[in-house]
Amino acid sequence: MDEILRLSQISKTFPGVRALQDISFDLRRGEVHCLCGENGAGKSTLIKILSGAYQPDEGGRIFFNGAEVSLTPRTALEMGIHTIYQEHIVFDALDITENIFVGAEIARWGIPQRKQMREQTERVLRYLKSDLSPDMRMSDLTSGQQKIVEIAKALVFRSNVIILDEPTASFSSQEIETVLDIVKTLKEDGIGIIYISHHLDEVFEVGDRATVIRDGQKVSTYPIAGLSKSTLIKDMVGRDPSTFYKRERIARGEVALDVRNVTGNGVRDISFKLHRGEVLGIAGMVGSGRSELMELLFGAAPLVYGDILIDGRSVRHGSPKDAIRNKMCFITEDRQNTGLFLTKTIAENVAVANMVNTRDFLVRPADEFAVGETYRKLLTIKAPSARTRAVNLSGGNQQKVVLGKWFNTGGEIFIFDEPSHGVDVGSKQEIYKIMVDLLKEDKAILMVSSDMPEVISMSDRVLVFRRGEVAGELVGEKITEENILTLSIGGQKE
Amino acid sequence: MNTHDTSNSTGPRKDSLFKKYENLTVLSIFVSFVVIVVALQLITTGGSRFPTFISPVNIFNILQQVAVPGIIAVGMTMVMISGGIDLSVGMLASLVSIVVALGISEWGLGVGPAILLGVVSAVILETMMGFIISRTRIEPFIITLGGMISFQGIALLLCNSREVVMKGELSFLTTNLIDGAKDPVTGLALRLPPYVLLFFAIALIGGLTLKFTKFGRRIYAVGTNQRAAFLSGIDVKTMRLAVYTIQGLLVGIGATLLLARINTGIITLGQNLEIDTIAMVVIGGTALSGGRGNIVGTLIGVLFLGSIANAMNMLRLPSEVQFLAKGLVVIIAVSAGDISSRISEFRALKRAQVDAQAAAADRMKGGGPAQGGAQTDMQKSSV
């Protein structure tokens, strides 16, 4: 048997969530085994178990070369199981050699043997057919080149298994080719590779087998040869739509936001119209340029090319200040770091964004408190008073404070980036209801979401993003999990 | 349903008393201030008959001593709330004093224009640093450290490393407003120069600005979370620049007053001023990380440090010991707040553990009716 790794009946439970359930999986020597699934299907959790970062629940067994093992980050490395995560873990100020040997320097009498380490680095880089020099500084490399260094690091320490998590996210096509070539080289040398990618093209180019995970459970494993993309996609989707939130539909009004050929901040040539009374969903995989587009529209990143029209009038947003004056609101994804002033009170948080709209020099704390109280009651924020600090609230209530901040500006075009991210199920329903109420008041909503049921149940139309561009638009009946996924991972028929 | 239970799970969490009530920090500093003052009073009164620590004449003395650092500490408070710091104030004050002294006694500018020249140069130099700080990602610490060294250089070049003696042209700033008033106990003359009133006026304006103007609110917002402030439409660069400009104005004023008191423009005039003002602001509860603090706290910090220095002078302690004592006061004042908040955090944790155990015991008995209820509610609303 050339089987190198086998997982049997692996489950992982977090407080309140079952992330993985009875997953069985195996990897052979010299094989590329792809893991496929939507955002949040459980791929990352599985990787973390393989790298030893998480311990599986009792009952799960892991075999390495036929022998049962238990994996910790240390033992995983000793067995030669290397995980290369999506985010680069690099030391910018060090050079390639130092990055590879950091923490595991070859030393004699405590003195690092630079020459020896450099030679080994050089050898591996040549083997990877890379023209990088071991002396290059990490900060001077592109993200594609940094990925190569991480792979080189795995090889220097003799790997048996390499796990690649989204190795090509945000790469140019040239860099993608390089990484795929490297994967093929490694495979020929008998290394087992677990390959996670949102891009089906890559899966079909380098993969030998593919395993589909959905909602923490394994759905199927196929040999890639002879497999069709649509079979794979059908397995990745499959939630019961009757469990989705049922939203009231509102008649569509005038065009509120007209985006023409917008380019910059990693997105290219985006055009769409957003009407009053509708939710335009922006779907796509993480890193496909959705939040980047929102930053552009809101003036938080410079627009390279294109036009933005609000109510038919061309606007230039040099900074968020201009966008707020033009009645735009931006409920960001990371509310703790970009939405809230955590140590400040509800009232102070609610007041802050509207400051650009008033000409007064003075603020009256009493008025501010009164406004804060109004929104606390209106949005049913669970806090004793508007003087409660935001840091003391739960995720859902914090999100409502952010909503209060934007409602207070009198804005009309709302950008929701992951509106229900990190909030409990009850607050989620409340936030959806608030969104529908906004539509009834003739406001317009642009909603970025990775939560499939959310996109499907809330959107009137859906734009699917892929690699910084619009891959397609879906309307009405066509808004299905399968269609969205097909567009976002490039699974459509050529 | 059990309403108490739900409010516990989604409502406000137990938090440190200090984080919950910002005023408590100020209050605790004030209380320890009073305790120290009383202690000093007891120590200084023992033995000699006068002058004692809490006496009108000594209180007026302290006010004169702290007025200048106090004025600069008001500016430092704003800078630090915005998330910055300014190490250059001491050398900048020296520079300004030399410029004003030269202007009056050597360049023949006249008193008014000379003072104006000094204040304007302070504003310009601070604004330049603020410009760099607000437009780049370089730490304010580094920029103002560079400023401090350069200002020292400029000042030494201007005065050829010598002192510039004046003939008391600025004495109008040190006139006694209550001439003839006597300490009822000791019979010593009381002095209240105009700059003490100026200090209180500036502190009042600073405090009101921070609390009751949009500008003040934005300083807090920028110091709390720069990215969120930017996305909330606040011009972060302008705010970060403005606090340094204000600091420049206050250093200009402070340096002129210092010159008026000493009557000599000299490089050592502003020495350690940055250390003293930062210490005062920090004792007053302003966070180095920005977003937290106020002028009332700073005022107490100013009086606190000033009183201790004064008392040590009265006790005739050598200056070496005084440095040590001041340093310890800063460390103790700042860590006291942190330690007490850790204690309350620890207590909150204990309480949460007890609650959790009780809840677990409940679940064993009743099967968690509250949770089940919430779930069915949700399903109803989703269908």
Report the candidate in A227, A272, A226, A279 with the shortest Cα–Cα distance to residue A252.
A279
The beta-strand segments (E) located in A449-488 are 461-466, 469-475
Q: In terms of domains, do A207 and A287 share one?
A: no
Report the candidate in B32, B136, B132, B126 with the shortest Cα–Cα distance to residue B79.
B126
Token pair 């450290």 in the structure block, residue: B145
Q: In terms of domains, do A252 and A355 share one?
A: yes
CA distances from B204 to A245, B71, B211, B247, B258 (A): 55, 11, 11, 15, 21
Q: How far is B99 from chain A (nearest CA, A)?
A: 35
Question: Which ranges in A108-246 belong to alpha helices (H)?
Answer: 114-127, 143-156, 173-188, 200-206, 229-236
CB within 8 Å: B231 and A320: yes
Q: Is residue A436 part of a domain?
A: yes
CB within 8 Å: B220 and A396: no
Mean pLDDT of B367-383: 38
Report residue B366: phi and psi, to 5°: -105, -10
Q: Is residue A296 part of a domain?
A: yes
Q: How far apart are the C-alpha atoms of B203 and B232, rounded to whole Å?
A: 29
How is residue A55 annotated by DSSP? P
Q: In terms of domains, do A147 and A290 share one?
A: no
CB within 8 Å: B233 and A351: no
Q: How far is B325 from chain A (nearest CA, A)?
A: 33
Q: How far apart are the C-alpha atoms of A266 and A158, rounded to whole Å?
A: 36
Provide the pairing of β-strand A217-223 with A209-214. antiparallel
pLDDT value at residue B371: 41
pLDDT, tens digit, 9 for 90 and up, residues B290-315: 888 999 999 999 998 998 888 888 87
Q: In terms of domains, do A145 and A56 share one?
A: yes
Q: Is residue A43 part of a domain?
A: yes
Q: Is B359 on the interface with A (CB under 8 A)?
A: no
Q: How far apart are the C-alpha atoms of A278 and A414, rounded to whole Å?
A: 11
Q: Is the pLDDT of residue B239 over 60?
A: yes
- Which of residues A241, A266, A284 is at a domain's end? A241
Between B55 and B17, whose confidence is greater? B55
Which residues of chain B make contact with A363, given a CB cutoff of 8 A?
212-214, 216-217
- Which of residues A241, A267, A300 is at a domain's end? A241
Q: Is B23 on the interface with A (CB under 8 A)?
A: no
Kindly report the length of chain A.
494
| CB nearest to A344's CB, from B7, B215, B224 | B224
Q: In terms of domains, do A432 and A476 share one?
A: yes
What is the total count of domains within chain A?
A: 2
pLDDT value at residue A492: 63
Buried/exposed A144-158: b ≥16 CB within 10 Å, e otherwise: bbbbbbbbbbbbbee
pLDDT value at residue A111: 84
Give the CATH number of the domain where residue A107 resides. 3.40.50.300
Q: Which of A239, A324, A335, A341 to substitute to test the interface with B, most B CBs within 10 Å?
A: A341
Which residues of chain B make contact with A389, given a CB cutoff of 8 A?
15, 19-20
Q: Is residue A478 part of a domain?
A: yes
CB within 8 Å: A324 and B291: no
Which residues of chain B make contact with A424, given a CB cutoff of 8 A?
10
Q: Is residue A93 part of a domain?
A: yes
CA distances from A245 to A457, A482, B383 (A): 6, 18, 7
Which pair of structure tokens corresponds to residue B381?
């609303």
| CB nearest to B212's CB, from A362, A388, A396 | A362
Residues in chain A where the model's pLDDT stays below 50: 493-494
Q: In terms of domains, do A334 and A458 share one?
A: yes
HSE-CB of B8 using CA atoms within 13 angstroms: 11
Which residues of chain A make contact with B383, given a CB cutoff of 8 A?
246
> CB contacts < 8 Å between A and B, how many?
119
Q: Spell out the domains of chain B, with CATH numbers in brackets.
A: 9-341 (1.10.3470)
Which amino acid makes up residue A157? F
Give the H or E element holding residue B65: helix B56-81
Q: Is B230 on the interface with A (CB under 8 A)?
A: yes
Q: For residue B374, what pLDDT band results from cuts at 50, 70 and 90? A: very low
Q: Which of B205, B232, B289 to substitute to test the interface with A, most A CBs within 10 Å?
A: B232
Residues 6+ apart with CB under 8 A from B372: none
Q: Is residue A198 part of a domain?
A: yes
Q: How far is A389 from chain B (nearest CA, A)?
A: 8
- Per the prediction, chain B carries an average pLDDT of 83
Which residues of chain A make contact with B9, given a CB cutoff of 8 A?
394
Q: How far apart are the C-alpha atoms of A268 and A470, rounded to whole Å?
A: 8
Q: Is A172 helix (H, G, I), strand (E, B) or coil?
A: coil
Token pair 């920029």 in the structure block, residue: B143
Report residue A32: phi and psi, to 5°: -105, 110
CB within 8 Å: B11 and A426: no
Q: Is B142 on the interface with A (CB under 8 A)?
A: no
Provide the pairing of β-strand A192-196 with A255-264. unpaired
Residues 6+ apart with CB under 8 A from A139: A92, A93
CB within 8 Å: A389 and B20: yes
Angle (nearest 5°) at CA A332 between A326 and A333 = 160
Q: In terms of domains, do A179 and A301 share one?
A: no
Q: Is residue A494 part of a domain?
A: no
pLDDT value at residue B383: 31
Q: Find the radius of gyration of the CA atoms of chain A.
A: 25
pLDDT value at residue A178: 84
Q: Is B167 on the interface with A (CB under 8 A)?
A: no
| CB nearest to B231's CB, from A330, A365, A394 | A330
Give ipTM to 2 decimals: 0.76
Give the H or E element holding residue B111: helix B111-135
Which amino acid makes up residue B222? V
CA distances from B334 to A319, B33, B337, B341 (A): 38, 13, 6, 11
pLDDT value at residue B363: 63
Residues 6+ apart with CB under 8 A from B302: B66, B69, B70, B73, B280, B284
Q: In terms of domains, do A185 and A255 share one?
A: no
Q: Is B234 on the interface with A (CB under 8 A)?
A: yes
CB B285 within 8 A of CB B152: no
Structural domain containing residue A237: 3-241
Burial class (CB in 10 A: 0-12, 13-18, 19+), A454: buried
Q: Is residue A493 part of a domain?
A: no
Q: Is B211 on the interface with A (CB under 8 A)?
A: yes
Sheet holding A61-64, edge to edge: A67-69, A61-64, A3-14, A17-28, A217-223, A209-214, A32-36, A192-196, A161-165, A81-84
**Crossing angle of helices B295-314 and B273-283, rounded to 10°:** 120
State which residue of chain A sits closest to B6, comparing Cα positions.
A382
Which residues of chain A make contact with B231, given a CB cutoff of 8 A?
298, 300, 320, 330, 332, 338-339
Which residues of chain A make contact with B348, given a CB cutoff of 8 A?
none
Provide the pairing of β-strand A279-284 with A305-310. unpaired
Give the H or E element holding residue A111: strand A111-112
Q: For residue B325, what pLDDT band results from cuts at 50, 70 and 90? A: confident
Q: Is the pLDDT of residue B81 over 90?
A: yes
Q: Is B9 on the interface with A (CB under 8 A)?
A: yes
Q: pTM here? A: 0.77
Dihedral in degrees, nearest 10, Cα atoms B262, B264, B268, B270: 60
Q: In terms of domains, do A197 and A246 share one?
A: no
Which amino acid makes up residue B95? L
Q: In terms of domains, do A100 and A237 share one?
A: yes
Q: Is B7 on the interface with A (CB under 8 A)?
A: yes
Which residues of chain B make contact with A391, given a CB cutoff of 8 A?
15, 19
Highest mean pLDDT among A139-153, A169-183, B6-20, B233-247: B233-247
Q: For residue B13, what pLDDT band results from cuts at 50, 70 and 90? A: very low
- Which of residues A204, A221, A241 is at a domain's end? A241
Q: In terms of domains, do A402 and A362 share one?
A: yes
Q: In terms of domains, do A263 and A186 share one?
A: no
